[in-house]
Amino acid sequence: MERKKTIGELIEKEVRKQGISITAFADSIFCQRNNVYDIFKRSKMDVVQLGIISRVLKHNFFKDLAEDITLSDMDNPEMEKDLYNRKAVSQFIEVVPKILTKMGKEPIISFGRPLSVDETVVLPDFMLTDYLITFSIGESLKEKANGCFGNLMIIETYTSEKGIAVDLWINRLNGSRSLNIKLDYKSESEWDDTLRYVFDNFYHKQHEYGNR
């Protein structure tokens, strides 16, 4: 029986294929050289780290995870949910930059959570830094926070006629505003509708507020 592949082995294969030195790869993903060998052995990967690796190697590893069930943790009781989220992230990474470019917007997606963040801290997974728009996998940021911000944040939820939901976050202390969208699986046309709804109805007001 063929041994099950791991995500770490796929990453190592791609690094070797591209002829990148271990030192150069370590520097590009912000880790120590010795830690790269640990990454090559992993069967699980933090979404932020895998996102950085995907960007550095210009290879969508989320797509590999979504399409190859042998890369899944078969003993994980939430495997079905995990596979759905992988598919959602894969689609997000592939289609959202194209849609933003078509809209004349900056297409760079960054990561909402630094690698060293405490897992108990509630932060989004991805963000469009230039526009203060964030995305959280599987749940809205409001759902993930579950009231933990107390009276610090005002959270207003808006839903379009097409059922597109957006949370507007307002910081009571400094008045700063940001938007959060749940990152679940959407077709390219659904992501197009979602981003146009956000930019047409929220971004300009938010931008003007931030520049007062």
Kindly report, residue by residue over 101-147, the tens digit of the pLDDT: 999 999 988 887 766 656 667 788 899 988 889 999 988 888 888 77
Domains of the chain: 7-73 (1.10.260.40), 94-210 (no CATH)
Amino acid at 128: L
Q: How many residues does the chain have?
A: 212
- 208: confidence class by pLDDT, cuts 50, 70, 90: very low
Q: What is the pTM of this model?
A: 0.79
Checking if the pLDDT of 77 tops 70, the result is no
Cα–chain center distance at 6: 21
DSSP 202: I
Nearest to 52 by CA among 156, 123, 125: 125
